[in-house]
A and B are shown apart, each in its own frame.
Chain A
Amino acid sequence: MPFVLMTLSTTARPATDLGYLLFKHPAKAQRFPQSSGTAHVFYPVAGEDLCTAALLLDVDPVALARNNRGREGYVNDRPYAAGSLLAVTLGSVFRTAMNGRCDERPELAAAAIPLAVRLPAVSCRGGAELAERLFAPMGWRVEARPLPLDPEFPEWGDSHHLDLRLTGELRLADALRHLYVLLPVMDNTKHYWVGEDEVAKLIRAGGDWLVAHPERELISARYLAHRRGYVRTALERLAELDDTPEEEVDEATDEPVVRPLAVVRRQAVLDALREVGARRVLDLGCGPGSLLLDLVADTSFTELVGTDVSSVALTIADRRISRLPDRARARVAVRQSSLTYTDPALAGFDAAVLMEVVEHLDPSRLAALEHVVFAGARPEHVVVTTPNIEYNPLYPTLAAGAFRHPDHRFEWTRAEFREWADGVAARNGYTARFLPVGPEDPVAGSPTQLAVFSKVTKEVAA
């Protein structure tokens, strides 16, 4: 059965007092049944100068898979790497110690003692550097060595596992609380569903040290599995505990903040649609329906149809639409369609929107999209937005050469976008004009580029 492993050592003399602190006798090997398997505590070393307690969690992968149903593959590293499993076990096996109680040696429990923690394989998404940022502020000395994915394949690089050693003079209870909170934070995944009681757990275990921790936002976000509502609650409650004045709290995630541009972009599309006087509008690739919900607020749009290839996205959009008042709802509909299959139901609209869609198609399929939208559906106007790659260097968090989204198949310069759009327009009897969207940089241009295609109306001979 797989397992995870942690050792905790002290050199405070007599080191064997660690047994009192942990409530576990150094001469015995003990077993503690857990929901995820069995925890074993034993002492490989128990001397006057050095005492080491080992916690070994024997994970039952069947039990784990039951908890984990459908969320991960059958083979995963969870059973071998310390993470939220170990944190839960710490909280149960060393509960009393974590609470700072020690009836036999109360003065020892209250004192900072030299401690060493070793986790030979701990999952840390963020590497050694993150481990340093997380543990150092509380006075730990951090030695973190990344484990290579496979020494036989050095070109694969390092895994997200560290061989982590922490040393420092701390109260044992504090050390355990640090681990309890930070093990799942390093791992950035929980083996169980994160519910609202997790906020309370976080406050309980982190209340006294997390308030002053420079990474408290990241810690809260990761601990609460990025569930925004919970993160906000936690940060608010932490702020109440804090003496320092309240700071503005927004977008408490460690992802780059892009939302405002999305809002600006939707507004730009809305403006373009109003300008051409469109009333019946198609939103091709509507996703969860954000643009549709913006458009429906303007009653000059009499019919709004969103299409997407993803039935998951459409289910979300449908749910959002169903919450609209009856009269608004009657003007919006979503249905599944694809931009690479012709669909006669898309014909006859005043305008079609392709907002941040084209870059999700392989370049070789763009001709199919062109055929479906410009030759098949043939709306009077087509509004297209796509990222301007020239602007990417202005995003500090974006690695050089990286696209803004992992699914982007390409991102275009302004010239490339123009070339494509002009070609599409010429081949299909449209004209194209271009507008910047978002803050304009004198050199790089705007973050988003927008084109409005308009059908050339031709005199039809009788």
Chain B
Amino acid sequence: MSELAIPDMSLVVLIGASGSGKSTFARKHFAASQVLSSDYFRGLVSDDENDQGASADAFDALHYVAGKRLARGLVTVVDATNVQQRVRARLVELAKAHDVLPVAVVLDLPEAECVRRNAARPDRDFGAHVVQRHVRELRKSLKWLGKEGFRKVHVLRDQSEVDSARFVQEPLRNDLRGETGPFDVIGDVHGCRAELEELLGELGYAVERDPAGRAVGAAHPEGRRVVFVGDLVDRGPDTPGVLRLAMGMVEAGNALAVCGNHEQKLARALRGRKVTVRHGLAESLAQLGTEDPEFVKRAEVFCDSLVSHYLLDEGKLVVAHAGLPAQYHGRASGRVRSFALYGDTTGETDEYGLPVRYPWARDYRGSAVVLYGHTPTPEVEWINSTMCLDTGCVFGGKLTALRYPEREVVSVAAHEVWYEPVRPLVPAVEEREPTALALADVIGRRVVETAELGMVTVREEQTAAALEVMSRFAVDPRWLVYLPPTMAPADTHKEGPVLEHPREAFAEFGGLPVVCEEKHMGSRAVVLVTRSPDVAPRRFAIEGDGAVYTRTGRTFLPAPLTSSLLTRVRAAAAGLWDELETDWLLLDAELLPWNAKAGKLINEQFAPTGAAAAAALPAAVELLSQAADRGVDVADLLTKTRTRETNALGFRDAYRRYCWPTSDLDGVRLAPFQVLAAEGRAFHDRPHVWHLAVAAKLRAADPELFTETRYLEVDTADPSSVAAGVRWWEDLTAAGGEGMVVKPAANLVRMGRKLALPGIKVRGREYLRIIYGPDYTDHLDRFRDRKLGKKRSLALREYALGLEALERLSRNEPLWRVHECVFAVLALESEPVDPRL
């Protein structure tokens, strides 16, 4: 029995004359979906499997489908004669285009056998000469298949070989997904042996030495392993020493190493190839010159054997010397290796004559963490889940390791400048990118995976609408790390003089303890405040103190006022930085008064209504009274008009309560009610009383700016507690309050398997005049059939997206991952919903 090895993800090309039994063979060894047969595709495009005139179209379609499979990394078998070189060339190209390996499997059976089989098939009406030609072409090709680009060639010469063949799928050399670590990934060493030994010590490894005292290995007591990102050699003072240590670790299974461009070149030089000796190769060659030849041979074999990248920890970690974009992870091709060793360049060179590197990490959108080196930078930093660990040790910088999965950075300083840099060290992203966001991150139909609600879908027209708002009106996306969800009102109260009542809100959270919070009639505000001016550039990649924005991402105040507001928030938060172990805070708040943001709306809609009503109604009452005095029968109309007058005055009083004059920050008040996030964590698992206690601390520090949010805890299972809640709401609204928000006391809760709404609003009778019109109280029944389903569903989806944004933010995920959620909230808000809800 012969084993035919095929690499994972490969394109298997069957080669054989008509009648050689390829289809039977393919059926035996592969699933039907893996085999793409030219006959079948001819049938698909022309209704006739034997219509040779349809071959061109059939192969187009076959290649298209094969491409889709290879892009997914699926083994794909092409069942066609493939006896001609030009036909095979297209398949080799296809494999390369998807960075997978092509494999040839040749069924080189005797011509007579093929002819006999064809003759036995009624649908094959072509003569023996066709088979003859196939066999001739096949034989001619055989010895060139390797040269054509096939990585493996298996030839089966008779039926018994065909019958006994068995395929074995081999993982690629880069595929170490089963190795789950933990790892300590070390940046470019470049012959700095002393620093490497020191770093290994810092990382907790015990260095092993030979009798001469030379480090020949290192092991970690907890079984951690090192991954070298390549460029162990060249430039530095002791390349042989570094190799001795690294080789020992790799051979003992204590380390993995990927190939750097310097290992690649050193191996070539040691093999005696002609290479240009520069960039520190001369030092390595000189140092190795004093070593014994056996060691040099060992070094050559080691460098030559290194794989260009590794896929580790179930595909969650990729290590490649110069980094690797997502579509190359786990793939094998010349260009994958080239990228992994040399990175991507723009084709331009800088003023030092060095190639200008293309910032691939900026566009990286993969889920795997990519760790790499190659480009020295003064400080490591995360860029879209990637990190460059080359901190220029040989140039006098430091040698850096990243503990994975802990994501802790460990560095030791260079002992001296071992090699003068050609150009000064520059940060990985030279200047702060004004935006690292791409259009493809936000537009089109999007599905955002949320922890609390699974997939949330946003339709294309919704993202299209949001793109305009986000681009033209919103604050910089680096500040816009969260948008609050819309809030649904309580189910409509079925009788009596009110449309909304606490009873329905308590029923919503049936049995759970809830907190009733006073609803401030202002504008929802998200406040991002930093502890000091250096925080935002470091944490949010933007200059500034923070931001204060509305629920559609717009700024509230002109820049200088925002700045003074943030200064006051920062001062008030002085006690919170240490308590919450953070140097920035994201707060959910209400900004008062209403007219601070809604001034235009009030002056164009609400106040004119009040003004017109206040002028017309008393005049009408007077005229009707005169007519009544004359004996004209207008009694009914007069009564109605008097009621209307009362309603209109009530309407005016309703909005007046939420307005007061402001001048700059004077009169502006902030009512925070939730701490959304701080460094490394979100707070939706803390009960609301905790959040309100934080708000109280802010208020204690600056009572002029911060306003109290009154609240009452209610046990919805206890009738007397519920009654107290109802009374509390009645008192609140009778005194002119907008109403209250009922929230689950524990904050984020599930009711059974369902995510509970974060809050339900219960608005007061007088307040609702602003929403439903001055006279709505005379026609309550007309409004009772309002539909709440859409609003509630929207509120829940936006809530889940907001939570997801906060979780991603607290995990320090790349900006685009956070923005994706925030953008989706804004996009959902373009959904038309009854604005009165």
Contact = CB atoms under 8 A, between A and B. Distances in A.
Interface string B608-650: 1111111111011011111100111110010011001000100
B608 A160 contact: yes
A215 B589 CA distance: 51
Nearest to B836: A74
Contacts of B559: 364
A123 B613 CA distance: 12
B453 to A, nearest CB: 26
B607 A156 contact: yes
Interface stretch (A41-49, A133-141, A262-270, A437-445): A41-49
A161 B615 contact: yes
Given A150-B652, A340-B435, A341-B435, A29 B627 contact: yes
Given A74-B836, A342-B435, A2 B775 contact: yes
B644 A44 contact: no
Interface stretch (B215-223, B281-289, B386-394, B459-467): B459-467
Contacts of B475: 364
A80 B603 contact: no
A398 interface: no
9 contacts: A1-B640, A1-B775, A3-B616, A42-B627, A42-B634, A56-B620, A73-B605, A121-B615, A364-B476
Contacts of A368: 434-435, 476
Contacts of A431: none
Closest 3 CB pairs of A and B: A80-B612, A44-B626, A367-B434
A118 to B, nearest CB: 8
B835 A73 contact: yes
B611 A75 contact: no
A338 B471 contact: yes
Given A42-B632, A44-B626, A75 B771 contact: yes
B782 interface: yes
B338 to A, nearest CB: 17
Interface in A61-94: 61-62, 73-77, 80-81
A358 to B, nearest CB: 12
Given A29-B634, A337-B439, A120 B615 contact: yes
A46 B627 CA distance: 9
Contacts, number: 190
B442 A80 contact: no
A43 B472 contact: no
B623 A7 contact: yes
B654 to A, nearest CB: 11
B154 interface: no
A232 to B, nearest CB: 30
B551 interface: no
B611 A461 contact: no
A233 interface: no
B607 A341 contact: no
A75 B468 contact: no
Contact of B616 (A45, A73, A80, A160): A80
Secondary structure of the B contact surface, majority rule: helix
A259 interface: no
Given A7-B623, A120-B616, A336-B467, A343 B348 contact: no
Contacts of A148: 611
B146 interface: no
B612 A156 contact: no
Nearest to B620: A5
Interface string B312-353: 000000000000000000000000000000000001110001
A371 B656 contact: no
Contacts of B773: 2, 61, 74-75
B623 A44 contact: yes
A194 interface: no
B437 interface: yes
Interface centre among B622, B626, B627, B641 (most CB of A within 10 A): B627
Given A150-B652, A153-B659, A341 B612 contact: no
B718 interface: no
Contacts of A337: 439
Given A309-B467, A367-B434, 17 more contacts: A1-B640, A3-B616, A42-B627, A44-B630, A46-B630, A56-B620, A120-B616, A147-B612, A150-B610, A153-B659, A159-B608, A159-B611, A310-B468, A338-B467, A342-B435, A342-B437, A371-B433
A218 interface: no
Contacts of A28: 632
B438 interface: yes
Contacts of B631: 27
A237 interface: no
B611 A121 contact: yes
Given A80-B613, A159-B607, A29 B637 contact: yes
A461 B612 contact: no
B458 to A, nearest CB: 15
A444 B240 CA distance: 73
A385 B399 CA distance: 50
A76 B611 CA distance: 11
A336 B637 CA distance: 56
Secondary structure of the A contact surface, majority rule: mixed
B264 to A, nearest CB: 20
A455 to B, nearest CB: 12
A42 B468 CA distance: 53
A150 B605 CA distance: 12
A27 B435 CA distance: 75
Given A7-B623, A152-B656, A342 B439 contact: yes
Interface in A1-59: 1-5, 7, 27-29, 40, 42-46, 52, 54, 56
A149 interface: yes
Given A29-B632, A342-B437, A343-B439, A45 B626 contact: yes
A242 to B, nearest CB: 37
A372 interface: yes
B3 interface: no
A365 interface: yes
Contacts of A204: none
Contacts of B613: 2, 80, 121
A153 B661 contact: yes
A154 to B, nearest CB: 10
Contacts of B476: 364-365, 368
A339 interface: yes
Contacts of A52: 623
B336 to A, nearest CB: 21
B350 to A, nearest CB: 10
A370 B630 contact: no
A364 B559 CA distance: 10
Contacts of A150: 607, 610-611, 652, 656
Contacts of A250: none
Contact of B464 (A56, A311, A365, A370): A311
Contact of A44 (B602, B616, B624, B836): B624
A2 B652 contact: no
Interface string A394-435: 000000000000000000000000000000000000000000
Interface in B341-389: 347-349, 353
A121 B616 contact: yes
Contacts of A121: 611-613, 615-616
A45 B626 CA distance: 7
A226 to B, nearest CB: 19
Given A29-B633, A336-B443, A77 B609 contact: yes
B772 interface: yes
Nearest to B355: A461
B572 interface: no
Interface string B782-813: 10000000000000000000000000000000
Contacts of A311: 461, 464-465, 468
A156 B605 contact: no
A171 interface: no
A111 B429 CA distance: 86
Contact of A338 (B433, B439, B619): B439
A372 B435 contact: yes
Contacts of B623: 5, 7, 42, 44, 52, 54
